[in-house]
Amino acid sequence: MEQWNIVWAARESFISGLWVTLELFFIAAVVGLLIGTVLCYAMEYQHRVIDRLIIGFVSLMRAVPFLILAYLFYYGLPELGLSMEAWTAGLLALVIYHGAYFFEILRSQRRLFSSGYIEAAVSQGFSRYKIYRRIILPNIFSSSLPLLGNQLIICLKDTAFLSIITVQEITAAANGVQSTWFIPFNAFIVAIALYWGISVLLELLIKRLSIYGAKRGMTHA
């Protein structure tokens, strides 16, 4: 019982850790999704060189662990005179890495998207941007929701890697508390419970969004 009292007394560090994790996760998710969407739009032009570049970049990201990218930004780039704080380097790595994965998910759904819709829109005089914005994007977003949800949870879990490059997020906070008071069991149980709570909330959010998508008539999800 006493150990839980210590955890309670150290709640400040857990709260600030939780805050850092949420902040990193939220920015990475929003900007990453934006990158995925923009890259997916760039593929609409079917420009051979651009397509090759995008696919090459995404394949590279898919074959590399997240931590190596974070290492590259935090430890590697200073050698070229580009120094960043751990938080910035970590966020940049999260955004680039998960942007590539979000793009890959959207592209897989884009390929399955029936071309009949697009032909209909073209015949109605929609511009390329309008077709993407009004027809393709809502549909592929809706049908890739379960996959995007999984990727969001992976993104949340990848923030824990950033404790290795000294970002003070939940895991680093738990590690700090346990090494000060020697209560490893309790400290990490709290950290795991926090991650679990966030991912349960995320799953609920995705479920809500799919119900919303189905209501708007995007049923082939």
Q: Residue 50 contacts by C-beta under 8 Å, 6 or more apart in sequence?
A: 42, 43
Residues 6+ apart with CB under 8 A from 83: 77
DSSP reduced 3-state for 10: coil
Cβ-based nearer residue to another protein, 81 or 217: 81
Q: Closer CB to another protein, residue 136 or residue 191?
A: 191
Name the minimum Å distance from CB 196 to another protein.
Answer: 4
What sign does the CA torsion over 142, 145, 151, 157 have?
Answer: positive
Beta carbon nearer to another protein, 133 or 157: 157
* Smallest separation (angstroms) from another protein to the CB of 148: 16
Name the residue nearer to another protein (CB basis): 27 or 122.
27
Torsions phi, psi of 206, nearest 5? Answer: -65, -40
C-alpha dihedral over 203, 209, 214, 215, to 10 degrees?
140
Cβ burial 77-113 (10 Å sphere, 16+ → b, else e): eeeeeeeeebbebbbbbbbbbbbbbbbbbbbebbeee
Q: Which residues bind another protein (CB under 8 A)?
A: 60, 62-68, 71-72, 75-80, 153, 156-161, 163-164, 170-171, 174-175, 178, 184-185, 188-189, 191-192, 195-196, 198-200
Question: Residue 140, SS3?
Answer: helix
Least distance to another protein from the beta carbon of 8, Å? 18
Indicate the residue among 92 and 131 with the shorter CB distance to another protein.
Answer: 92
Q: How far is the CB of 28 from another protein (least distance, A)?
A: 14
Q: Minimum CB separation from another protein for residue 170, in Å? A: 8
| Residue nearer to another protein on the CB measure, 175 or 210 | 175
CB of 21 to another protein, least distance (A): 10
